[in-house]
Chain A
Amino acid sequence: EAQVTQNPRYLITVTGKKLTVTCSQNMNHEYMSWYRQDPGLGLRQIYYSMNVEVTDKGDVPEGYKVSRKEKRNFPLILESPSPNQTSLYFCASSFASGYEQYFGPGTRLTVT
């Protein structure tokens, strides 16, 4: 089954404790992306990747890092999480930029 998986689905952590949210897709997609969704602000793109070893900033990249060492995986790293990063995070993938995107189920992160 074609899918995008994210882990963990829920995470409560404390300020400053490094964390990684994993994202994996099994569709051999070149394009992958991370979004955060906040009430009243809609979805905002954090980072995206056009292909392996090619990543670029989205609209809200501050406080986040990504890497794309393999085509299928695109982890999101919060080196020093802060409460303003409490949000619902989505990973998505597509054949290429501008094409239909497939979304993961979301990761609800709370930073206290």
Chain B
Amino acid sequence: SQQGEEDPQALSIQEGENATMNCSYKTSINNLQWYRQNSGRGLVHLILIRSNEREKHSGRLRVTLDTSKKSSSLLITASRAADTASYFCALRDFQKLVFGTGTRLLVSP
């Protein structure tokens, strides 16, 4: 089934630096979504990007989508300690939403 693979699995940066994580997938998509999860809590939707869009912004977040390479990236600019969380991409597979295994981001003060 359709599943995104996030890369890297873990990322450790200092406050103020940018964080980039990637999601690759295998088959064509209708849209791709990014979610954040703080430790042990429910996931929170960040951005949905449609297959006909190439870039989307939300505050300090920037998501790009390259359908020819079947990949998406999430960029967090000027990171803060509060950005420490796991980030997941999610792809629609018929009536289901399939999540990758996530990127764990640690932002140190």
Query: A residues touching B (Cβ–Cβ < 8 Å)?
Result: 4, 33, 35, 40-43, 45, 48, 50, 56, 58-59, 88, 90, 92, 97-106, 108
Contact = CB atoms under 8 A, between A and B. Distances in A.
Contacts, number: 61
B17 to A, nearest CB: 26
B42 A103 contact: yes
B44 A103 contact: yes
Contacts of A45: 96-98
Interface range for B: 20 to 34
Interface in B56-109: 88, 90, 92, 94-102
Main secondary structure of the interface of B (DSSP, over half): strand
B33 interface: yes
Main secondary structure of the interface of A (DSSP, over half): strand
A104 B97 contact: no
A100 B47 CA distance: 8
B26 interface: no
Contact of A97 (B48, B88, B96): B96
